[in-house]
Copies of this chain bind each other. A is one copy, B any other.
């Protein structure tokens, strides 16, 4: 059918078409929810054909949010405003909780819907009235919200939607972001500006950022947010602040995200006027019960407490000769009537304990197995030291079969180059999750343990220390957003692959063009290993600068505590380098099950990547590569730094595929990353050389400066140190 349009008007419309929607470039604020127009026009037309009609009765805040998201996504990607209909006489998208959807009988079996649980969803292609329709359904409103995000992801990643049969449900119950945000808006180990929580303006002013934070987190199934630092300020529990927390909880609730608080164990003293915080003291017990009741009056679905106790100076039960279990259980009892949980951190190490720091958490917590109440989950870092670029999995995994264990990953790159280094962390997460502890025989992976496979009665959880701040692009580096994204994806289902998650994120954030997706996915997948190589190869660890943890500091030997010195960890001497954790050393290896222990114990079976974690190795030790240890170490450092240059070359070819501002941002940051990689390489090679007394092999670029240059550099005002005020 032809219509006659005057040329002038047509030209006018064409002119409007030329309208660049963003006269400002892409500043990264929209994360992976930019809902860019679907570039494949043929596919876009197919999508429009299928999605022109919508039956989606909203009503609750969650359903309203889901519907709003769906409409925003369809408008952005397809310029489509679907028509609401009642009767499905056309190809229709049905969205609704199963009990309210009124589909023809047997369209979807009840047994299938039940598999979605409380947060999952089904997306199914069905035929109704001879029309091909799509159904997004779930048992709860929040399942619908997750389903809408899951459906939008199909469009964002240009998937076919003709024959859909998707069942999704989370494998882990508590999927929580931990914000190390202080009340004065500094963020401990935060490299993306200041805290996004504007406490001064709460409760009256709800910043749009809180809503977009909730949207982004819900889009990957995150369902909890601890809004304050584990080095907690007791003021957080005062009525004034609880009003502000309540405002945040109200903002998150439609998105299925519960609010949690880090609590200071000495709060009964600090703000309660008590003389003790002994967890067995009746007044203390009552104080916490009353405080919990107070919180739940304002926030009926408050999540619970996160506790750092008797660690790095934080108060705890041990001052009263009580155990971690005593402390945790007291809090658990206060929260249990309200269905709250306690996440009790196992990150403990004592400078005065005269043995290997890597052994201490295990020694302190394993004996407590089975002593925790059922609503306590012990939160364990992925490795036994502290979020190093590579650590073996924490020996507590598999060692506490009767206790819920929650794994804690660090999204913020405290030891991985802050927000100037592109490091996609999913491979690090997966490396830990897929590690076989052998605790219940082969297949006792960390993932299987923390998803409760071996003890289905236990609650399950995964925590990520957030990398989110006030920077317009939220995370400081555009690619750091991928770690927030990947954490959510893996908390929902730890079996997903790093590669798939990376590809999804790249497509949703930038473009689906294979000429961009493939190389960037490749860069992302390799990035963690690259950084390990130029910072801490072959099992080295904890050799960064003091305090700020910025930059190389392998020479640090005066940090005030032995176990804060780099020298404690690498133990370089004229004979060799590395920490002997075998049976001839600290025997930390023996904290693992025999198959794992033996692998680490034996120099010939210990993987290269853990070599210097478990062994003090001679400089002339012959590595699998055929090189001596010294030569191999140097090679890793140089290869790691060089990989950044290759990454830069790849990125330079990507200019045509991404927004100009984003291109420049990443380009500049990569240049900074390269300088930092060179700095790490040169500092470590030159310093360790003073022990190895061997030359840098021919063919490697000599460092531009002597060791003294690197040792004397001061990095002033590096971010991430904010006193808890």
Chain A positions near chain B (C-beta within 8 angstroms): 1-8, 10, 13-25, 27, 29-30, 34-35, 37, 72, 75-76, 79-81, 183-185, 191, 193-194, 199-201, 204-209, 212, 235, 240-241, 418-420, 470-472, 550, 661, 664-665, 668-669, 671-672, 675, 714, 716-719, 725
Q: Which 9 A-B pairs have the closest CB atoms?
A: A21-B21, A204-B672, A23-B76, A3-B7, A194-B194, A5-B5, A19-B79, A15-B79, A205-B668
Do residues A10 and B21 form an inter-chain contact, with CB atoms below 8 A? no
CA distance A76 to B22 in the complex (A): 8
CA distance A413 to B367 in the complex (A): 57
CA distance A35 to B200 in the complex (A): 32
Do residues B240 and A23 form an inter-chain contact, with CB atoms below 8 A? no
Residues A23 and B671 in contact in the complex (CB < 8 Å), given A5-B5, A7-B3, A470-B193: no
A32: shortest Cβ distance to chain B, in Å? Answer: 13
Question: Can you add 18 more A-B contacts, CB < 8 Å, to A20-B75, A200-B719, A206-B668?
Answer: A1-B7, A2-B7, A4-B5, A13-B17, A18-B79, A18-B81, A19-B75, A19-B79, A21-B21, A22-B22, A23-B34, A25-B208, A184-B717, A204-B672, A205-B672, A207-B665, A235-B717, A470-B471
Do residues A29 and B472 form an inter-chain contact, with CB atoms below 8 A? yes
Do residues A420 and B201 form an inter-chain contact, with CB atoms below 8 A? yes
Determine the residue in chain B with the shortest Cβ distance to A212: B24
Do residues A4 and B6 form an inter-chain contact, with CB atoms below 8 A? no
Do residues B19 and A24 form an inter-chain contact, with CB atoms below 8 A? no
Do residues B27 and A208 form an inter-chain contact, with CB atoms below 8 A? yes
Residues A205 and B29 in contact in the complex (CB < 8 Å), given A240-B716, A716-B183: no
CA distance A23 to B24 in the complex (A): 14
CA distance A373 to B258 in the complex (A): 64
Chain B residues near A14 (CB-CB < 8 A): 13
Chain B residues near A191 (CB-CB < 8 A): 200
Do residues A16 and B15 form an inter-chain contact, with CB atoms below 8 A? no
CA distance A22 to B35 in the complex (A): 10
Copies of this subunit: 2
Determine the residue in chain B with the shortest Cβ distance to A717: B183
Chain B residues near A34 (CB-CB < 8 A): 23
Determine the residue in chain B with the shortest Cβ distance to A183: B717
Residues A16 and B17 in contact in the complex (CB < 8 Å), given A27-B29, A205-B420, A470-B470: yes
Chain B residues near A185 (CB-CB < 8 A): 193-194, 717, 719
A645: shortest Cβ distance to chain B, in Å? Answer: 15
Chain B residues near A471 (CB-CB < 8 A): 470
Residue from the set A24, A199, A241, A669 with the largest chain B CB neighbour count within 10 Å: A24
A289: shortest Cβ distance to chain B, in Å? Answer: 25
CA distance A14 to B16 in the complex (A): 10
Residues A35 and B6 in contact in the complex (CB < 8 Å), given A17-B16, A470-B194: no
CA distance A327 to B665 in the complex (A): 42
Chain B residues near A25 (CB-CB < 8 A): 208
CA distance A3 to B79 in the complex (A): 25
Do residues B79 and A16 form an inter-chain contact, with CB atoms below 8 A? yes
Chain B residues near A661 (CB-CB < 8 A): 208
Chain B residues near A19 (CB-CB < 8 A): 21, 37, 75-76, 79
A50: shortest Cβ distance to chain B, in Å? Answer: 15
Residues A6 and B7 in contact in the complex (CB < 8 Å), given A17-B16, A27-B29, A716-B235: no
What are 10 A-B interface contacts by the 8 Å CB criterion? A5-B10, A18-B75, A20-B75, A183-B717, A193-B470, A200-B717, A205-B665, A206-B668, A207-B665, A717-B725
Chain B residues near A206 (CB-CB < 8 A): 668
Do residues B3 and A3 form an inter-chain contact, with CB atoms below 8 A? no
CA distance A83 to B715 in the complex (A): 50
CA distance A5 to B10 in the complex (A): 8
Chain B residues near A665 (CB-CB < 8 A): 205, 207-208
Chain B residues near A72 (CB-CB < 8 A): 23
Residue from the set A15, A193, A420 with the largest chain B CB neighbour count within 10 Å: A193
A471: shortest Cβ distance to chain B, in Å? Answer: 7
Chain B residues near A420 (CB-CB < 8 A): 201, 204-205
A655: shortest Cβ distance to chain B, in Å? Answer: 16
CA distance A208 to B29 in the complex (A): 13
Do residues B669 and A205 form an inter-chain contact, with CB atoms below 8 A? yes
CA distance A435 to B14 in the complex (A): 54
Determine the residue in chain B with the shortest Cβ distance to A672: B204
Chain B residues near A184 (CB-CB < 8 A): 717
A478: shortest Cβ distance to chain B, in Å? Answer: 12
Residues A209 and B75 in contact in the complex (CB < 8 Å), given A19-B21, A201-B672, A716-B235: no
